[in-house]
């Protein structure tokens, strides 16, 4: 089945540690996105990529990094520079102006 | 970037039509109007999108104003499963940036 997969579903991180969230899609989509959602809030764009080996900062990129070495994969690293990383993280992909598909999300908690 | 404005919340009775408004007065010619909805603890789900003309699909209808500065998502017969947060988004064809606003929380009253 075609789709977009995020892993893990739940992730715990100690303060000061970097952690990488996985996002994989087999929809052959060029564009991929990372969002952060805090409780009761909307989605805020962290990074997006229109094509392999290229990506742009979204509205809240500070403390995060990404890579796009393969079309299928767009991992997000939450660095120690992100002061309040506890949130729900969503990945999405799209093929231009048509619908975007979202993963089921990763819930990151700093302990 | 063009922004959208939606009411924070709306209520509707079950089996009645629902009209969810969205204002996007700074929309550009290359912005598509997308609607998504999100249930708690899930990723958003695509509902419908359009550029200039009204659109219909199995889930809903999208009515776009002639000047494109506003649009309305129409759920023809609301069910309890339609209770969700609905997001109106402008998708720019040039930079493919997909930015969400705060959305409208729709409550369906049995």
Q: Write the pLDDT tens digit of every residue in A42-67.
A: 999 999 999 999 999 999 999 999 99
**pLDDT score of A111:** 87
Query: Which chain B residues touch A56 with a CB distance below 8 Å?
Result: 95, 97
**pLDDT score of B97:** 85
CA-based nearest distance A43→chain B, Å: 6
Is A43 in the B-facing interface, judged by CB distances under 8 Å? yes
What distance lies between CA A29 and its chain's CA centroid? 15
Write the secondary structure of chain A as one string of H (helix), E (strand) and C (coil).
CCCEEEECCEEEECCCCCEEEEEEECCCCCEEEEEEECCCCCEEEEEEEEECCEEEECCCCCCEEECCCECCECCEEECCCCCCCCEEEEEEEECCCCCEEECCCEEEEEC
DSSP conformation class of B5:
B
Query: Which tokens is B71 given?
Result: 């649009």
Considering only A13-17, A58-62, B32-36, B52-56, which range has the smallest mean pLDDT? A13-17
Considering only A52-56, B33-37, B97-101, which range has the smallest mean pLDDT? B97-101
**pLDDT score of A77:** 97
- Does residue A2 have a pLDDT over 80? no
CA-based nearest distance A61→chain B, Å: 14
What gap in Å lies between CA A37 and CA A107, rounded to an integer?
10
CA-based nearest distance A74→chain B, Å: 16
Question: What are the residues facing B49 on neighbouring strands?
Answer: B34
Contact B43 A102 (CB under 8 A): yes
- Does residue B2 have a pLDDT over 70? no
> Of the candidates A45, A94, A105, which has its C-beta nearest B99's C-beta?
A45
CA-based nearest distance B33→chain A, Å: 9
* Nearest Cα residue in chain A from B99: A45
**pLDDT score of B1:** 66
What gap in Å lies between CA A92 and CA A104, rounded to an integer?
10
> Of the candidates A42, A101, A102, which has its C-beta nearest B101's C-beta?
A42
Q: What value does the mean pLDDT take over residues B41-62?
A: 93
Nearest to A110 by CA among A5, A18, A7: A18
* Nearest Cα residue in chain B from A41: B102
The answer to whether residues B108 and B78 touch, using CB atoms and an 8 Å cutoff, is: yes
- Does residue B67 have a pLDDT over 70? yes
The answer to whether residues A46 and A34 touch, using CB atoms and an 8 Å cutoff, is: yes
Query: Which chain B residues touch A47 with a CB distance below 8 Å?
Result: none
Mean pLDDT (chain A) is: 93
Query: Which chain B residues touch A41 with a CB distance below 8 Å?
Result: 102
**pLDDT score of B88:** 95
What gap in Å lies between CA A35 and CA B100, rounded to an integer?
9
pLDDT band at B96 (very low <50, low <70, confident <90, very high): confident
pLDDT band at B93 (very low <50, low <70, confident <90, very high): confident
The answer to whether residues B96 and A94 touch, using CB atoms and an 8 Å cutoff, is: yes
- Does residue B76 have a pLDDT over 80? yes
> Of the candidates A58, A96, A100, which has its C-beta nearest B46's C-beta?
A100
- Does residue B41 have a pLDDT over 90? no
End-to-end CA distance of chain A: 35
């Amino acid at each position: 089945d075609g789709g977009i997969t995020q892993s893990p579903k739940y992730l715990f991180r100690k303060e000061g540690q970097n952690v990488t969230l996985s996002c994989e899609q087999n929809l052959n989509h060029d564009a991929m996105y990372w969002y952060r959602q805090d409780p009761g809030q909307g989605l805020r764009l962290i990074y997006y990529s229109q094509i392999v080996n290229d990506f742009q900062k979204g509205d809240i990129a500070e403390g995060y990094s990404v890579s796009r070495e393969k079309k299928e994969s767009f991992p997000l690293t939450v660095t120690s520079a992100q002061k309040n990383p506890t949130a729900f993280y969503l990945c999405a992909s799209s093929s231009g102006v048509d619908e975007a598909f979202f993963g089921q999300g990763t819930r990151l908690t700093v302990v | 970037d063009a922004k959208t404005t939606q009411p924070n919340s709306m209520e509707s009775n079950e089996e009645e039509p629902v009209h969810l408004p969205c204002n996007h007065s700074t929309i550009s010619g290359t912005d598509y109007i997308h609607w998504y909805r999100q249930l708690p603890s899930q990723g958003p789900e695509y509902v419908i999108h359009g550029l200039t003309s009204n659109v219909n699909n199995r889930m809903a209808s999208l009515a776009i104003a002639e000047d494109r500065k506003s649009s309305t998502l129409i759920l023809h017969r609301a069910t309890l499963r339609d209770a969700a947060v609905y997001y109106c988004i402008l998708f720019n064809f040039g930079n493919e940036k997909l930015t969400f606003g705060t959305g409208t929380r729709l409550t369906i009253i049995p």
